[in-house]
Amino acid sequence: MSFIEVKKSAVVCKNVQVIIPGNQFFIDKQEVDNILGVNNKALIGRRLENINIQSLESRLKSNPFVERASIYVDMDGTIMVEISQRQPVMRMMNQDNQDFYIDQHGLKLPLSDNFTAKVLVANGFIDEHFANKVDTLKTQVARDVFKTADFIRKDSLWSAQIAQIYVNELHELELIPRVGNQRILLGNADSLDVKFRNLLAFYKQAIPQVGWATYKALSIKYTNQVIGIKNDNLKKDTTTTKTIKPDSLMAVKDTTTKIIKH
């Protein structure tokens, strides 16, 4: 062990190797090199015993897009740098025109000059302030928006169908779909699994009968029904009620889809 320590003290840094897994590069190798001082010869050529590894890790972790950073050295004089990036799941624009990401842990992140993430967007009457640093969500509306976005991204069907979340004046959540022109009133983020299951049953049972253009808005804010508001351009009709049968594709039991036609 004494021989190894003596040999290690004589080794100088010959190279810095940066490993950034994934396909999102909010921070790239060049920026890492700049943070560590590779480009200005702050590391290469120095004895390893004179390099403060903990200090280098702290400098990397101060970057808002770095979730974890690990640095170690081998006996050949190579400094290995492994970085885990934060993963944004949505982009939020508040009513003060501040624009920021929210990661998978519900933390606010600034935008990046290097990369734009293709994630769900939320805007409208959102009063969540952003201080241009990694921070937790402070308002219930923002937490509801994040909870909904996180639910959507984990489901391949809804991540393909829902393009945007809008917060209206009543601080209720509305969903903007990619297919169909209806706004979908979600309300809050309670019982998301039930609400989206009801919506899917509506898509499978009601839409094939009446078509996508029949309704201008749908409401799934109540967990036992889906309310459809008819398009003003179509012929007016009376109120009807459609019950989802237990043997439907979703097997939704005791669920009523109420279609209100104006």
pLDDT value of residue 5: 56
Q: From CA 12, how far away is CA 8, in angstroms rounded?
A: 8
> Does residue 16 contact residue 81 with C-beta atoms inside 8 Å?
yes
> Does residue 222 contact residue 235 with C-beta atoms inside 8 Å?
no
pLDDT at 262 > cutoff 50:
no
Comparison of pLDDT for 249 and 219, the residue scoring more: 219
| Domains annotated on the chain, with CATH | 2-85 (3.10.20.310), 88-260 (no CATH)
Give me Rg for the CA atoms of the chain. Answer: 26
pLDDT value of residue 233: 61
pLDDT value of residue 140: 97
Q: From CA 165, how far away is CA 145, in angstroms rounded?
A: 7
This prediction has a pTM of: 0.80
Q: From CA 108, how far away is CA 143, in angstroms rounded?
A: 11
pLDDT at 243 > cutoff 90:
no
* DSSP annotation string for 148-217: HHHHHHTSHHHHHHEEEEEE-TTS-EEEEESSSS-EEEEESSTTHHHHHHHHHHHHHHTHHHH-TTSEEE
User: What is the tens place of the pLDDT at every residue in 102-155?
Assistant: 999 999 999 988 889 999 999 999 999 999 999 999 999 999 999 999 999 999
Query: Which residues have a Cβ under 8 Å from the Cβ of 99 and sit 6 or more positions away?
Result: 91, 92, 93, 111
CA angle 235, 236, 237 (to 5 degrees): 115
Average pLDDT value for residue range 188-200: 96
pLDDT value of residue 7: 58
Edge-to-edge strand order for the sheet containing 15-19? Answer: 15-19, 78-85, 66-73
User: What is the tens place of the pLDDT at every residue in 16-42?
Assistant: 999 998 777 788 888 898 899 887 778
> By C-alpha distance, which of 222, 225, 219 is closest to 241?
225
CA angle 141, 186, 197 (to 5 degrees): 130
User: What is the tens place of the pLDDT at every residue in 68-81?
Assistant: 999 998 888 999 99
